[in-house]
A and B are shown apart, each in its own frame.
Chain A
Amino acid sequence: MANLYPEKLITIITTSMLEERLVRVFHERGTSGYTIVPARGAGSRGEQTGMDFDANILVKVVLPADRMDPVLGDLKRLIGQGHHLTIYVGDVAVIRPEKFTKPFGA
């Protein structure tokens, strides 16, 4: 069996309008990458239909535990401004930890 290394996975569900701001946060905080997919669903803000004026995104970022706090701080600031983000953090295991250390776009 391959060796596994622990990382953190941050998952965010929010409006597609925040995509650029989230990417800026990931870039500034030196994450190694991110994945964004369109999302549909329902929640406290009612049904999200996926029309372009009403679209949600699901964002996933894998990063080392010691790099997580600055990212979460920036996300909390967005929530403080009144934006609605569903955020959860989980433990994941990866087989190539070096993949998650080099900042993307660097």
Chain B
Amino acid sequence: MLSNLMIPAVLFFGLGVVARLIKSDLKFPPDLAKALSIYLLMAIGLHGGVELAKADMGAAVNAIVWALILGFGMPILGYWLLIVTRRVGPLDAAAIAAHYGSVSAGTFLTALAFLDTQGVAYETYPLIMLAVMESPAIVIGLLLAAQARQKIKRNAQGDGSGDAGTGGGDGRMRLGALLHEAFTNGSVVILVGSMIIGAVSLPGAMEKLKPFIDDIFMGVLCLFLFEMGMEAARRLGDFKRVGALLAGYGILMPLIGGTIGALIGHSALGFGVGGTTLVAVLAASASYIAVPPAMRLAVPEANPSLYLTLSLGITFPFNVVVGIPLYHWMAGLLAAA
């Protein structure tokens, strides 16, 4: 199991955590993580686009349908789990659940690095699923929050009154803005746009881009994870504020998601070990780049330190260190069965 961690990307993540723990004065230039994530999404999108141009349409559509099911289903499951544990209010639960329905490209790319190192081949369809799964959870998060607001309002008013009508209108207006936010989200534009460019570009022209999208890719991923390690470690201190039960949720959710994802990848999509691992990673990961800003706008009542600590401080490190090898192992079991 330990040898699974001996890949540079994961080790640099660890270095970032250590740098923070020993209180090093190391600091990355502002916006570096943003610049690196733009590169990573662009490179992986171009790469995926080239592969998808050769792919089977039916299989691609099937992957998209299952990505939508996961994207809409996971936040509802996550919300229900949070409400049952009664540790947070419904608005916080809605915001947290949205993070778990969406995906972390950083985790996905780490999984690619892991599979490459292990010499495991993988299907390219999970890449479309990565693009598709960014948005639905944001929409569900907003709908859950709107429902929670109405419930809170109803409780506050005792009996329901005619006031609910105006509240509904307001909610609809904000839904329009949020749908725009969800589907024009920067990550989605880069990823989908690069895929299309990769798919329609002439092969000769794409060959010229190889040093940019292939040769330096893993190095950039190391840099990105280095900084994310520092960010994750910064959040670890908030552990106490979140509480043990909620922190446990940050580990339970990826385990549930990973299991569901592995089953879907293997049974419904018929992927091999590599593809199944990637679908499990998609279902297990929680967003920390696309969703937090969206939730700040859409569910301002929710406490950002709760969802950032869970997704960035707990679930992301868990997935990078324990989750990915675990999902790979699960995928292997399913393939052997």
A17-B293, A84-B300 known; A52 and B31 CB under 8 Å?
Answer: yes
> B312 — nearest CB in chain A belongs to which residue?
A53
- Given A15-B296, A49-B231, residue A82 in contact with residue B30 (CB < 8 A): no
Is there contact, CB below 8 Å, between B305 and A45? yes
Residue B308 lies at the interface, judged by CB distance under 8 Å to chain A: yes
Q: How many angstroms between the C-alpha atoms of A52 and B293 in the bound complex? A: 9
Given A52-B33, A53-B288; A46-B231 close (CB under 8 Å) = no
Asked if B123 CB lies within 8 Å of chain A CBs, one says no
**Given the known A-B contacts A46-B238, A82-B301, are A53 and B30 also in contact in the complex, defined by CB atoms under 8 Å?**
no
A2 within 8 A of B: no
User: Per-residue 0/1 for B40-67: is the Cβ within 8 Å of any A Cβ (1 yes, 0 no)?
Assistant: 0000000000000000000000000000
> A106 at the A/B interface (Cβ < 8 Å)?
no
- Kindly state the separation between the CA atoms of A14 and B305 in the bound complex, as whole angstroms: 15
B160 to chain A, nearest CB (A): 21
Contact assessment for A45 and B231 in the assembled complex, using a CB-CB cutoff below 8 Å: no
Count of A-B contacts judged by CB separation below 8 Å: 39
Asked whether, in the complex, the Cβ of A51 is within 8 Å of the Cβ of B231, the reply is yes
Residues of A1-56 at the interface with B, using a CB-CB cut-off of 8 Å, are 15, 17-18, 38, 45-47, 49-54
Which residue on B lies nearest to A84, using beta carbons?
B300
Q: Is B297 an interface residue (CB 8 A)?
A: yes
Chain A residues with Cβ below 8 Å from B301 are 82
- A46 nearest CB neighbor, chain B only: B305
In the bound complex, CA of A101 to CA of B53 (Å): 58
Q: Which of A15, A17, A49 has the most CB of B within 10 A?
A: A17
Residues of the A chain whose Cβ atoms lie less than 8 Å from the Cβ of B241: 46
C-beta contact mask, A73-106 vs B, less than 8 Å → 1, else 0? 0000000011110000000000000000000000
A49 and B300 form a contact (CB under 8 A): no
Q: Is the CB of B303 within 8 A of A45?
A: yes
Interchain nearest-CB distance for B313 vs A (Å): 12
A45-B304, A46-B238, A84-B300 in contact; A54/B292 too (CB < 8 A)?
yes
* CB <8 Å contact, B33 and A51: yes
- B300 touches which of A46, A52, A54, A83 (Cβ 8 Å): A83
- B264 at the binding interface (Cβ < 8 Å): no
Q: Once bound together, how far apart are the Cα atoms of A46 and B31, in whole Å?
A: 21
B289 in contact (CB, < 8 A) = yes
Q: How far is B308's CA from A54's CA once the two chains are assembled, in angstroms?
A: 9
Name 24 A/B residue pairs within 8 A (Cβ), A-sorted.
A15-B296, A17-B293, A17-B296, A17-B297, A38-B30, A45-B304, A45-B305, A46-B241, A46-B304, A46-B305, A47-B305, A49-B231, A50-B30, A51-B231, A52-B31, A52-B293, A53-B288, A53-B289, A54-B292, A54-B304, A81-B300, A82-B299, A82-B300, A84-B300
Q: Mark B residues whose CB is within 8 Å of A.
A: 30-31, 33-34, 231, 234, 238, 241, 288-289, 292-293, 296-297, 299-301, 303-305, 308
Show the binding face of A for B, using Cβ within 8 Å: 15, 17-18, 38, 45-47, 49-54, 81-84
Q: Apart from A52-B34, A52-B293, A84-B300, what are 18 other A-B pairs with CB-CB below 8 Å?
A: A17-B293, A17-B297, A18-B297, A38-B30, A46-B303, A46-B304, A46-B305, A49-B231, A49-B234, A50-B30, A51-B231, A52-B33, A53-B289, A53-B293, A54-B292, A54-B308, A82-B301, A83-B300
